[in-house]
């Protein structure tokens, strides 16, 4: 049994990671979270794995904009693995208030890295980054792990800043850092502002779905989707099999998973069993902070030995039905 610290553990991806750890390992999990606009402690309470294994979970409430002092450190059970998922992660809010994202994603990351330096038996610390650090990708373009940054908004720039700090702490202090980039993640209990749950809600209520396009209202935005359970499986595989000091893109098969927003909305409407009502709108991101398309190469992770055999259509159908039966999360 190991002690694992999950920062942002009551966030969307974070709570799925806690669920994965409780089901698939015997590790003790410490959740560090501040509970903000995107956090929800009820996500954890909703998990059957937590209800059965709550003795293996410790909650610590702390805002990483402040350093981890000795009092807080005593509550964290000297983890041997740190999975750093805590972050501000909303493009709109980063455009309105960029400094808050610098504080959360750069200063907050520096504070967790400084804490990690004090741990005598730290085996791994994973910095969970994003495809957005590479900026918009042209059609058919797939970025490798060490490609240049080209941040399109303050959120992605702040994640790139935290990523560079993680690299620096590995190079300077030999901290056992691994960095991951992930694409669009979906799943149960996602914040209702996100595209899939908001589309489910609007389709059920016969509301109009906005489909973002480029500034000519011609090219529709697209994304590569992975279910949170796939991401968690890949992340823990990287923890066990990945090389310290390296970066890994978490993506199954981008070419087969890429889907434009209109097609995704139509798939959701088909599962709900209602007509899709939509309008095409100009995406502010065609120069104002949004990117039409992202692309990550998954070759490195596949060469390491991991890939998902799951079907996007099957996972999406299962998820939409789950939301229809659990409307409190919409």
| 3-class secondary structure per residue, 123-185 | CEEEEEEEHHHHCCCCCCCCECCCCCCCCCCHHHHHHHHHHHHHHHHHHHHCCCEEEEEECEE
Percent of the chain with pLDDT over 90: 81
- Region 30-49: mean pLDDT is 93
Question: Contact 108/87 with Cβ under 8 angstroms?
Answer: yes
What whole-number distance in Å separates Cα of residue 287 and Cα of residue 309? 36
Residue 203: C-alpha distances to residues 222, 253, 266, 275 (Å): 20, 28, 10, 8
- The tokens for 68 are 């981890």
- Residue 124's beta-bridge partner residues? 81
Lowest average pLDDT, out of 77-86, 101-110, 167-176, 307-316, goes to: 307-316
Write down the pLDDT at residue 53. 97
Query: Nearest-5° angle of CA 141, CA 144, CA 149?
Result: 85
> How confident is residue 309, by pLDDT bands cut at 50, 70 and 90?
confident
Buried b (16+ CB within 10 A) or exposed e, 242-256: beeebbbbbbbebee
> How confident is residue 77, by pLDDT bands cut at 50, 70 and 90?
very high
Write down the pLDDT at residue 286. 44
- The tokens for 266 are 């139509």
What whole-number distance in Å separates Cα of residue 105 and Cα of residue 153? 13
The overall average pLDDT reported for the chain is 93
What whole-number distance in Å separates Cα of residue 151 and Cα of residue 133? 5
Buried b (16+ CB within 10 A) or exposed e, 174-193: ebbbbbbbbbbbbbbbbbee
Which domains are present in the chain? 3-186+225-255+299-304 (3.40.50.720), 195-222+259-292+311-329 (3.90.25.10)
In tens, the pLDDT along 199-249 reads: 999 999 999 999 887 665 567 888 899 999 999 999 999 999 999 999 999
What whole-number distance in Å separates Cα of residue 248 and Cα of residue 128? 10
- Region 153-160: mean pLDDT is 95
Write down the pLDDT at residue 293. 87
- The tokens for 193 are 């502002």
Please tell me whether residue 109 adopts helix, strand or coil conformation.
helix
Lowest average pLDDT, out of 180-189, 206-215, 302-311, goes to: 206-215
DSSP letters, 203-232, are HHTTPPEEEEE-TTS-SBPEEEEEEHHHHH
Write down the pLDDT at residue 6. 98
- Element containing residue 302 per DSSP (H, E): helix 299-304
Write down the pLDDT at residue 215. 60
Q: Cα-Cα-Cα-Cα dihedral of 148, 154, 159, 160, to 10°? A: 20
In tens, the pLDDT along 254-287 reads: 556 889 999 999 999 999 999 999 998 875 544 4
- Tell whether the torsion through CA atoms of 134, 227, 222 and 207 is positive or negative: negative
Write down the pLDDT at residue 213. 78
Catalytic residues: 131-132, 155
What whole-number distance in Å separates Cα of residue 142 and Cα of residue 115? 34
Write down the pLDDT at residue 254. 56
> What is the side-by-side order of every strand in the sheet holding 184-186?
184-186, 222-227, 258-260
């Amino acid at each position: 049994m190991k002690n694992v610290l999950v920062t942002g553990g009551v966030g969307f991806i974070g709570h799925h990671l806690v669920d994965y750890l409780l089901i698939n390992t015997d590790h003790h999990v410490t959740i560090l979270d501040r509970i903000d606009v995107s956090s929800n402690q009820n996500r954890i309470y909703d998990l059957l794995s937590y209800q059965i294994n709550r003795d293996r979970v410790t909650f610590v409430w702390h805002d990483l904009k402040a350093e981890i002092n000795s009092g807080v450190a005593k509550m964290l059970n000297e983890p041997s693995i740190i999975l750093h998922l805590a972050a501000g992660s909303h493009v709109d809010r980063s455009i309105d208030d960029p400094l808050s994202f610098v504080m959360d994603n750069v200063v907050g990351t520096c504070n967790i890295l400084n804490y990690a330096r004090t741990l005598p038996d730290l085996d791994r610390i994973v910095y969970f980054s994003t495809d957005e650090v590479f900026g918009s990708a042209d059609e058919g373009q797939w970025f490798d792990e060490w490609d240049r940054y080209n941040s399109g908004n303050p959120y992605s720039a702040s994640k790139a800043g935290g990523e560079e700090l993680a690299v620096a702490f590995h190079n300077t202090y030999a901290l056992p850092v691994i960095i991951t980039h992930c694409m669009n993640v979906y799943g149960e209990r996602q914040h209702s502002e996100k595209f899939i749950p908001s589309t489910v809600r609007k389709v059920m209520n016969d509301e109009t779905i906005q489909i973002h396009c480029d500034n000519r209202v011609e090219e529709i935005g697209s994304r590569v989707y992975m279910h949170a359970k796939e991401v968690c499986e890949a992340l823990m595989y990287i923890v066990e099999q990945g090389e310290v000091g390296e970066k890994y893109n978490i993506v199954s098969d981008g070419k087969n998973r890429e889907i434009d927003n209109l097609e995704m909305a139509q798939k959701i409407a088909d599962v709900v069993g209602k007509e899709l009502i939509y309008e095409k709108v100009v995406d502010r991101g065609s120069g104002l902070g949004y990117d039409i398309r992202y692309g990550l190469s998954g070759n490195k992770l596949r060469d390491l030995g991991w890939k998902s055999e799951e079907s996007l259509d099957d996972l999406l159908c299962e998820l939409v039905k789950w939301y229809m039966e659990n409307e409190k999360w919409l």
